[in-house]
Amino acid sequence: MRGLTLSDLSILVLHGPNLNLLGSREPEIYGSLTLAKINILLEAEGAKLQTNVSFMQSNHEGILVDGIHEALDKHQGILINAGAYTHTSLALRDAIAAVDLPAVEVHLSNIYRREDFRHHSYISSVVIGQISGFGAQSYLLGLQALVHHLRKERKEIES
Ligand code: DQA
């Protein structure tokens, strides 16, 4: 951490299963923005925050686990919407705990207003915090929160 400048921050944004279908997938729940558009918004937000943002989407649990492992030497934090794996995946939870990178969990929909099976997140116990229910804005708020956390952590290390 020491010696890095503000613009050296790099965040990995991980999108889980079925999020590649955003735009046409249940728009009444997930909104009408495509994933490509959400990524463009995140890139613009990253630029405002002087932060580099990289993206990965997969429908496969193991590929997402690999993505988390590979983040270790490349990125300082992870923004993750694990989709349905949020509610099922001990492997994703363990991967985030294993790399020990600060992470923020986001959801487009408010998972607590939906079916009972969406109320439990395996991810939430290993992340800094969770933002749920604000549509695409959840991602932008999540990015802001993560960058704020990393900058605060960095200042504490440097002081
Ligand atoms: C989601 C909520 C999950 O329950 C669901 O399986 C998704 C998307 C969201 O962003 O609201 O795929 O993570």
Tens digits of per-residue pLDDT, 45-78? 999 999 999 999 999 999 999 999 999 999 999 9
Nearest CA to ligand 1 atom 9: 107
CB 83 less than 6 A from any atom of ligand 1: yes
CA of 126 to the centre of ligand 1 (A): 18
Counting atoms of ligand 1 from 1, which one is nearest the CA of 106?
10
- Supply the pLDDT for residue 155: 80
Dihedral in degrees, nearest 10, Cα atoms 127, 91, 11, 128: 0
Q: Which residue, among 55, 50, 95, has the nearest Cα to 79 in the 3D structure? A: 55
Predicted confidence band of residue 2 (pLDDT cuts 50, 70, 90) = very low
| This prediction's pTM | 0.94
- Supply the pLDDT for residue 139: 98
Q: Which residue, among 145, 155, 7, has the nearest Cα to 79 in the 3D structure? A: 145
**Which run of H or E residues covers position 100?**
none
Counting atoms of ligand 1 from 1, which one is nearest the CA of 17?
12
CA of 128 to the centre of ligand 1 (A): 19
User: Is there a contact between 95 and 103 (Cβ–Cβ < 8 Å)?
Assistant: no
Active site residues: 30, 107
Instruction: Check whether 118 has a pLDDT greater than 90.
Output: yes
DSSP string, 3-51: T--GGG-EEEEEE-TTGGGTTTS-HHHH-S--HHHHHHHHHHHHHHTT-
Nearest CA to ligand 1 atom 12: 83
- Supply the pLDDT for residue 89: 98
Over residues 154-159, the mean pLDDT reads: 82
Tens of pLDDT, residue by residue over 10-50, are 999 999 999 999 999 999 999 999 999 999 999 999 999 99
